[in-house]
Amino acid sequence: MNKHDSTFLKKFSMVIGFLIALTLVLILFARHLNTLLPQEMTAQAKAQTAARIAPIGAVYSGSTGAAAAAAAAAAAAKAATSQAAYGGTLDGEVIYNSLCTGCHTSGAGGAPMLNAAGIGARLAKSGLETLHKHAIEGFTGATGTMPARGGNPALTDEQVIASVDWMVAQSK
């Protein structure tokens, strides 16, 4: 072995030694980094989490449930409609004078007037039940179009019937 070769060997083994040391350092660093990662949940931890979120995740019904809320909303809507139309009055004259008179007093648009030839003739021809039904549901006949509930959807069936009965009573 000449001098040149031994110098090379010395330097070469120093480089190899350095690389081995570097490898060890990297392995240790990688192990350290691995401990910093969130660990996979154990079965016990999973059970604890499930127990913790159970009240939120469970189906909730009963007195404060959606069914009760929907029923309350429906009741409120019903109360609002029954309040809306003329204070909920069942006085046929009041309702007639507030709404139906617009057509039926003058006969506008072919509306039968409150006399024997008008509403009186309708009663003789169709009967009271049909007049109630046509006033509630609306009706298109030979002379024109009667809008459902006189055009006020807030009127209840009872209110429309009361108005028709009052009209009939005036038409003899």
Q: How far is the CB of 89 from ligand HEC (least distance, A)?
A: 12
Q: Which residue has the tokens 């006033």?
A: 135
> Distance (Å, rounded) from C-alpha 65 to C-alpha 4?
91
Among 91, 94, 144, 148, binds ligand HEC (CB under 6 A): 144
Query: Which one of the spans 17-25, 51-59, 64-72, 163-171 is the region binding ligand HEC (CB under 6 A)?
Result: 163-171
**For residues 21 and 103, which CB has a smaller minimum distance to ligand HEC in the complex?**
103
Query: Which one of the spans 3-11, 28-36, 56-64, 136-144 is the region binding ligand HEC (CB under 6 A)?
Result: 136-144
E strand segments, the chain: 139-140, 145-146
CB count in 10 Å sphere of residue 35? 7
Residue type, 94: V
Q: How far is the CB of 122 from ligand HEC (least distance, A)?
A: 4
Q: Do the Cβ atoms of 101 and 107 come closer than 8 Å?
A: no
Question: Which residue's beta carbon is nearest to the bound ligand HEC?
Answer: 141
**For residues 61 and 140, which CB has a smaller minimum distance to ligand HEC in the complex?**
140
Under the criterion CB under 6 A, does residue 118 sit at the interface with ligand HEC?
Answer: no
Contacts of residue 142, defined as CB under 8 A and 6 or more positions apart, other chains included, come to: 110
**For residues 88 and 144, which CB has a smaller minimum distance to ligand HEC in the complex?**
144
147 burial via Cβ count (<10 Å: 0-12, 13-18, 19+):
middle
Q: Do the Cβ atoms of 168 and 123 come closer than 8 Å?
A: yes
Under the criterion CB under 6 A, does residue 107 sit at the interface with ligand HEC?
Answer: no
Under the criterion CB under 6 A, does residue 65 sit at the interface with ligand HEC?
Answer: no
Q: Which residue has the tokens 């660990």?
A: 39
Residues that bind ligand HEC (CB under 6 A): 95, 99-100, 102-104, 109-112, 122, 126, 130-131, 134-135, 139-147, 150-151, 160, 163-164, 167
